[in-house]
Amino acid sequence: MALEGEAACPLPEPTLEELALKYRIAEFTYDTTPVRIELRVWGYARDFLEENTLSADQCFGPDPEDSDAALVTATVIQSGTRYRWLLGFGDKLEVLAPPDLRAAVAWQARAIALIRHAPA
């Protein structure tokens, strides 16, 4: 574990989504319709999402295709904040669904890779 001390336990109420709506911190959230996201996570992203709750209906379990990974599903609001948060996990997180979010994150990852490998 990267941090020493006691492990963080998820708070039952309020969820991150409820706080974002209450305090209007989920900027770029024009459509607050909840969406079900599905993620494959490894390493510190796996540890973080095992110990912290994105939403009241979050499910966390082993990935039958990869023993080092876990599958996470949760109902969240897609926002600029959520998008940047997902990108922040880098190669420790793969968006499986919804397809439009998966495509957006994959496009951004490819763009970052091209910028890093562009000739100086």
Report domain extents, the chain: 35-116
In order along its 120 residues, the chain shows pLDDT tens digits of: 444 555 555 555 666 566 666 655 555 455 678 999 999 999 999 999 999 989 999 999 999 999 999 999 999 987 777 888 899 999 999 999 999 889 888 888 887 777 766 566
pTM for the model: 0.71
- The string of pLDDT tens digits covering residues 71-99 is 999 999 877 778 888 999 999 999 999 99
DSSP character at residue 7: P
- Number of neighbouring beta carbons within 10 Å of residue 109: 15
Q: What does the DSSP assignment read for 48-77?
A: HHHHS-SSTT-EEEEETTEEEEEEEEEEE-
